[in-house]
Structure 1
Amino acid sequence: MMTPSLPKSLVDNPRLNQWVDFSHPGRATVRSGKVEIGQGILTALRQIAAEELDLHPDQIDLVAGQTDSCPDEGFTAGSYSVSVGGASLRLACADVRRLFIQAAAARLGCPEADLSISDGTIVRGGHPTGLSYWSLRDEVSLDRAYSGEARPKEPETFRWVGHKMPRLDLPAKLSGSGFIHDLHFPDMLHARVVRQQRRGRHIVSIDERALARAAGQPIELLRDKDFLAILGTSESAVYHASKRAETAVTWEGGESLPSDFGSIAWLKSQEAIRRVHATGKPDADNVAHTISAEYSRPCLTYGSIGPSCAYAVFADGKLTVWSHTQGPAVLREWLAITLDLSPEQVTVIHAQGAGAYGHNTADDAAFDAAFIAMRRPGKTIRVLWNREDEFSSAPISPAMVMRLSADLDKQNRPLNWRTEIWSPPHVQRPGLNGNSNLLGASAIEGAPPLKPIDDLPHERGGGATRNSVPMYQLGHFQLTHHMIPLTTVRTSSLRGLGTWANVFAIESFIDELAEHAGVDPARYRLDLLADDRARKVIEEVCRMSDWFGRPTEIGTGSAKGLGFARYKNIAAYVAIVAEVTVEEDVRVDQIWCAADAGLTVNPDGAENQIEGGIIQALSFSREKLPFEDGAVSARSWRDYPILRFSDIPPVQISWTGSPYDPAVGVGEASVGPTVAAVANAVARALGQRIRRLPINRETIMETLLGEG
């Protein structure tokens, strides 16, 4: 009964014993390939499993992201953890429960309908039968494929799902032991890798004496072509030597970035692969007006609070790696390929890091540790990145240009809508385009040349084109994607990929169309939306913010702005109203949010995700990665300021969804609408639109002076 409508993780991992076993009395071991990266997924998965297995959550031992025992669910990304990973686990657990009820009914000689399960024990007519998961485990083989015959529970019967539960991962983190950085192994060697800074850069010389003096304690160097690591038993000694390496190691060559890298002119001048997607039939006969506008966003960096860390040990022909990677199984495959091992020789164990908002350097650190470990067998290697390397060598979120044009009818409704996007790719995770995309692997002897680089296909959610298709009613839509196959620097995934730039552009443009029509922006949107759930979140956020009660006066320095989107047009609906004050700079005074994610497994976790996306989006709206002398010039938070805690406004969130609708992703859903709402609020406060991000004092002054 396997059908294409099943969630991908279950299609890829159909056997029930990949998900559940009862090998420990009184407990269930539940496995997941989705990993905890700060989104609270472990808590939600435990609730799902407890619900469908009729267990107390405390009876569940959840194992996630271990390649030797857990299902391969690819990357934990794209807001799929609950909608795909959780949905797969739900179905698998429901099937497991069905099998044990069948076995108990056969043993007792009674109808299955007479039986139920309470905390793992079989109950008949409210009375224990003496049977349980554990007493029947030898009679019920879970080494079988999912049958599709079990019916998951309905929301009205939920005991655990839909209720707030404390996060599983927080106690250890709050007590100082919950992060990968806190792991410790006997006979551990600390390591720092001296970075190339630019692709193709080569080591010319190493002043080993200077490094030894800086360390002050014994260290050793491990070099393979342009891969250079400093090792020692003292973390402090290795750190000081790595700092000295900035001047003690001489490099030459490498690919430099142009002085105007990431600018609108640079993006439009690059050779690109042009792809066109279109829907509907153009209407040229009823066009009354045509309006066009161009928007842009700069390059951003990842900017995780904690630098990347990894551990590895190579012993008895087996490599074990601990990493805060988002894709343990994918990392395992590419470590095997780059290190000339079989996948069976490699085990990757996920250990939690300091949050993950896209493709960070966790996989790079894992390669570093693994490569060194294979040259120091029997020793556990701990690699920690420097903050400077996190800025200079991490993947970059690429700059984009979005040109929008709409033909309007006499009622100022869009007949034909055209979008053009110029952007490098947003996805260069390990394995994409057949490249390892591991920084250290490109520096060693025999590293293969890069294969042609492309973006995630539009049909699979897109990279630069993600959320480029408006949800509004349009007669004809045409998208032209100018994909720039950049190789000079790694550009890759940051929360939402191209979503928040595209939503910023679409929602800014919708406001401009509403202004042209002389219609309130919220009413204009509602008039163009047929989706009731979309309309409901907009109506709810307008109610929350008193949007219609206190109209904004344009150009007074203080105003509200609205932004809306459904993430990837398949996940959560989010509408945001931002209230801003523009004086010497932009201050966001208040955020209101209405969201619909269908069934929310853990409402507290879902709310944290929405609020976290809002806060990060407020930072995105003012961030810009600096470049100098052909490379990234940021080295610290002084060079790349992010939102401060003191800048975070009050945030109110309201949920409009139904538990009878499928759970959909929330992790990236609020980012685009937030940036758009701020941009629209600033435009109304100033009486002039800012079409070029970041929204800061410099951009505002350039726009007001006609230079933007």
Structure 2
Amino acid sequence: MKTSRREFIRQLGYVSIGFTILGAACMNTKEENNEGGGNAGNSEAATENSNRPDRINAWLRVLEDGSVLVLTGKMELGQGIRIAVAQMAAEELNTSPDLVEVNLAETGVTANEGYTAGSHSIETSAMSIRRAAAAAREKLLNLASKKWEIPVSQVSLEDGNIIAGTNKMTLYDLLEGRQISEEIGEPSEIYGKTRRKYVGQPVLRKDISAMVRAQHEYVQDLEFPNMVHARIIRPTSYTSKLASLDEEGLEDFPGFLKLVRIGSFVGVIAEEEFEAIKLSWEVNNRAQWDDDEELPAEVPLKEYLKTLDADVEVEEEKGDWQSTIEEAPIQHSASYYKPYIMHAANGPSCAVAFFDNDKLSVWTHSQGVYPLRETLAALLGMPAESIHVKGVPGSGCYGHNGADDVAAEAALLAVNLPGRHVRLQWMRNDEHCWEPYGTAMIMELQAGLDSNGKIKGWKYDFWSDGHSTRPNGQPETLLPARFLDKGHGVPGIGFKGGAVRNSTPYYTIETLQTTSHIFQGPLRKSALRGLGAYGNIFGIECFIDELAQKAGKDPVEFRINHLSDERAITCLKKIKEKTSNVRPGENEGLGYAFSRYKNSASYFAVAAHVKKMDDGIFRVKKMWGVIDSGETINPDGLKNQTEGGMVQAASWALREEVRFDKQHITSVDWHRYPIFRFEEIPEVEVEVIDRVDEKPLGAGEAAQGPSAAAVANAVFDATGIRYRDLPINPVEKYLR
């Protein structure tokens, strides 16, 4: 379609390539949709999204200055998706990554790719951008070939220019103001597989240096003209109802703009942030709450969870596992437990909202801008098309923390103060007490081994809440909805599939049964890095270690003897080599673990060197990891993801536990919810196995379960004592 130069510039001067590839994935996968509780909604934009398996839409905008704008529906969480997709586009367009810009998730601008979750970003969004860039390259080369009447083999594309001998022109000039928009098939060549000029290289992330210099713009840093500030007055419990509130004289406080009260939802808006904070203190002192429910604080949580009603289902069954176990010469059983744990983002959640002329704009670090838009529409009674949601990175968080909740709260306040940008920043106790946690789990295992130490029968039962209640078009998935006067209620169990993740061992076992017991627990919960895979792998890998001991086998060789996948075996052999010269001293131990995330994504083997200190606290001295994620896009990025996952999992295993009393959460700050301090972070060494001929595999959540198990197994190696309930170090040791 020919357009004028003015129209071309008005449309940002881009080449639009829309294409169809059966079986590829720039779309919401079934798992991503289920994790959020269903389809993102029924708005026109959501309908356009590539939920259909036979359609993929990706956009590349070739700008007038020669740079390329890449659009991804995924969010930057610290996982490095921005640099990865830039590398992939740069590779296919033979253009320096310095000339590639990336626009993150934004409704009406980027594709609706659901949530940035489940380690899908490279497998889905990045692969679609790769194909789009390759398709654009081939179309542009053909266009130049026809223009210059020479074979396409004599034409090349480099750094935004088309070149053929002495002929050279920019892509902008080549297009002559035309917009190219057509449906195409699979590109004939993927440079990322054949040339790898940028892909597979440790291209530096520009945002890291900006972070170090405090120049990086997070959602917490946003400023707008005449922006105002807000705070929420929190109830005393999950089920509190506002009984009374004395509003007299509040308008006389410095900076006061508005008190917003909708049922039991209460917020204050002021000109300056500290004025809003002081107002929230004053209003909190004036509020009276009625509480009608209590939390089960007087019963040990592991014991209490077993008393809850649960949906019981056999997830997988093979052979006569029961008789096999009962007749086995070597039998063993064990029970493991993980408590509720926090996302524990260093920067509390934040959002900015602006409402005017019946239109709402929200700036948020949500991991799903389209699902959030649909849910805000239902909460506010607005058409989804009247809401614009722009993703802005926040403090790194893997999973569903308070980002969506604070966005909803900011939106509710902005609707009540039109024409002003309303910035709502949570406080530390807001974040710790009201975010949705990673749920507690119980894992019970039985096994029977033959006289040669081979597992013949296996039984696994696990108890878990659902692992995701992300916004899905239903208002009750947002925290403020439960306190409004519309009776939205609270979400139910949520995404059961998250609980089942990695519950079936990747090892070769002749007979087995896996049974889930899904309950609805007492605390608010949602997706946290790895979901149920963390608890399941922790239990399975600790139990495997115990079986190896029962069989009198080396723990790594025992695992290898139960694997048929050569890539898994390679990872374990490499981790054994890495620790072959390690000689633990007194009160020190080495522990190992392995898993393949989701039994279909990255392979990961890990070792941990742990020491018991004089005060009885266990410290991790060093950790080693070997990861196989198929084709590696950025080895530094993959190492960073893996290292971070190992350290986070070690902190979970040794230190972290959400605590509560009868009324509410008591882990209100870093003293009462202790995470690793910098001096406690171990040395970490990660090797990446790059398999160019394989497809890339999700890696962001691969390290969690195995790393925690390796730490626990190392503690046993150091002490001869098996710690099966997390955290291993008593939380009381850190409370002060």
- Equivalent residue letter for 1:588: V
Q: Which residue of structure 2 aligns with residue 706 of structure 1? A: none
- Using the alignment, how far apart are the partners of 2:618 and 2:232 within structure 1? 40
- Using the alignment, how far apart are the partners of 1:552 and 1:530 within structure 2? 31
Select which of 548, 564, 584 maps to 1:514.
Answer: 548
Q: Which residue of structure 2 aligns with residue 704 of structure 1? A: none
C-alpha contact 1:572 1:596 (8 A) present in aligned 2? yes
Select which of 400, 406, 409 maps to 2:450.
Answer: 409
1:329-365 deviations in Å (ceiling 9; x for gaps): 1111111111111111111011111111211101111
- Using the alignment, how far apart are the partners of 1:375 and 1:5 within structure 2? 46
Name the Cα RMSD after superposition: 2.4
Q: Which residue of structure 2 aligns with residue 190 of structure 1? A: 229
1:54-89 deviations in Å (ceiling 9; x for gaps): 211122221111112111111111111112111111
Q: Kindly indicate whether residue 485 of structure 2 is the aligned counterpart of residue 485 of structure 1.
A: no
Q: CA deviation at 1:617?
A: 0.9
Q: CA deviation at 1:447?
A: 3.9
- Using the alignment, how far apart are the partners of 1:142 and 1:255 within structure 2? 61
Q: Which residue of structure 1 aligns with residue 238 of structure 2? A: 199
Q: Which residue of structure 2 aligns with residue 251 of structure 1? A: 289
TM-score, structure 2 normalization: 0.89
Q: CA deviation at 1:8?
A: 4.1
Q: Which residue of structure 1 aligns with residue 25 of structure 2? A: 7
Q: Kindly indicate whether residue 631 of structure 2 is the aligned counterpart of residue 599 of structure 1.
A: yes
Select which of 331, 335, 360 maps to 2:372.
Answer: 331
C-alpha contact 2:68 2:101 (8 A) present in aligned 1? yes
Q: Which residue of structure 2 aligns with residue 705 of structure 1? A: none
Q: Which residue of structure 2 aligns with residue 372 of structure 1? A: 413
- Using the alignment, how far apart are the partners of 1:83 and 1:210 within structure 2? 57
Q: Which residue of structure 2 aligns with residue 703 of structure 1? A: none
Q: Which residue of structure 2 aligns with residue 643 of structure 1? A: 676
- Using the alignment, how far apart are the partners of 1:543 and 1:211 within structure 2? 68
Counterpart mapping for 1:67-466 below 5 A:
67-124=107-164, 127-137=165-175, 141-173=179-211, 174-208=213-247, 216-260=254-298, 263-282=301-320, 284=323, 287-431=328-472, 434=474, 436-450=476-490, 453-457=492-496, 462-466=497-501
- Using the alignment, how far apart are the partners of 1:161 and 1:443 within structure 2? 49
C-alpha contact 2:355 2:361 (8 A) present in aligned 1? yes
C-alpha contact 2:242 2:289 (8 A) present in aligned 1? yes
- Using the alignment, how far apart are the partners of 2:679 and 2:272 within structure 1? 37
Q: Which residue of structure 2 aligns with residue 568 of structure 1? A: 598
Q: CA deviation at 1:146?
A: 4.4
Deviates further, 599-608 or 419-428:
599-608
2:456 aligned counterpart, secondary structure: strand
1:675-706 deviations in Å (ceiling 9; x for gaps): 01110000111112111111114799xxxxxx
1:565 aligned counterpart, secondary structure: strand
Q: Which residue of structure 2 aligns with residue 524 of structure 1? A: 558
Q: CA deviation at 1:573?
A: 1.4
Q: Which residue of structure 1 aligns with residue 663 of structure 2? A: 630
1:541 aligned counterpart, secondary structure: helix
Counting aligned pairs with the same residue, the percent is: 34
Deviates further, 7-16 or 514-523:
7-16
- Equivalent residue letter for 1:29: L
Alpha-carbon spacing, 1:606–1:696, altered in 2? closer, same or farther (3 Å)? same
Alpha-carbon spacing, 1:262–1:276, altered in 2? closer, same or farther (3 Å)? farther
- Using the alignment, how far apart are the partners of 2:299 and 2:254 within structure 1? 41
Q: CA deviation at 1:435?
A: 5.0
- Equivalent residue letter for 1:638: H
Deviates further, 320-329 or 436-445:
436-445
TM-score, structure 1 normalization: 0.92
Q: Kindly indicate whether residue 650 of structure 2 is the aligned counterpart of residue 618 of structure 1.
A: yes
Q: CA deviation at 1:619?
A: 1.0
Q: CA deviation at 1:290?
A: 2.6
- Equivalent residue letter for 2:267: A
Q: CA deviation at 1:629?
A: 2.2
Structure 2 unaligned blocks of 5 or more: 1-18, 29-49
C-alpha contact 1:103 1:139 (8 A) present in aligned 2? no
- Equivalent residue letter for 1:90: R
- Using the alignment, how far apart are the partners of 1:99 and 1:29 within structure 2? 17
C-alpha contact 2:453 2:553 (8 A) present in aligned 1? no
2:256 aligned counterpart, secondary structure: coil
Q: Which residue of structure 1 aligns with residue 504 of structure 2? A: 469
C-alpha contact 1:40 1:169 (8 A) present in aligned 2? no
2:481 aligned counterpart, secondary structure: helix
Alpha-carbon spacing, 1:187–1:77, altered in 2? closer, same or farther (3 Å)? same
C-alpha contact 1:299 1:624 (8 A) present in aligned 2? yes
Q: Which residue of structure 2 aligns with residue 24 of structure 1? A: 64
Deviates further, 665-674 or 675-684:
665-674
- Using the alignment, how far apart are the partners of 1:415 and 1:685 within structure 2? 29
- Using the alignment, how far apart are the partners of 2:209 and 2:236 within structure 1? 37
1:99-157 deviations in Å (ceiling 9; x for gaps): 11222222233333333211122233xx2533443233358754333422443125451
Q: CA deviation at 1:178?
A: 1.6
- Using the alignment, how far apart are the partners of 2:95 and 2:177 within structure 1? 20
1:413-468 deviations in Å (ceiling 9; x for gaps): 11221111111111011118x454111122222243446x23424xxxx3122211
- Using the alignment, how far apart are the partners of 1:699 and 1:314 within structure 2? 47
- Equivalent residue letter for 2:172: W
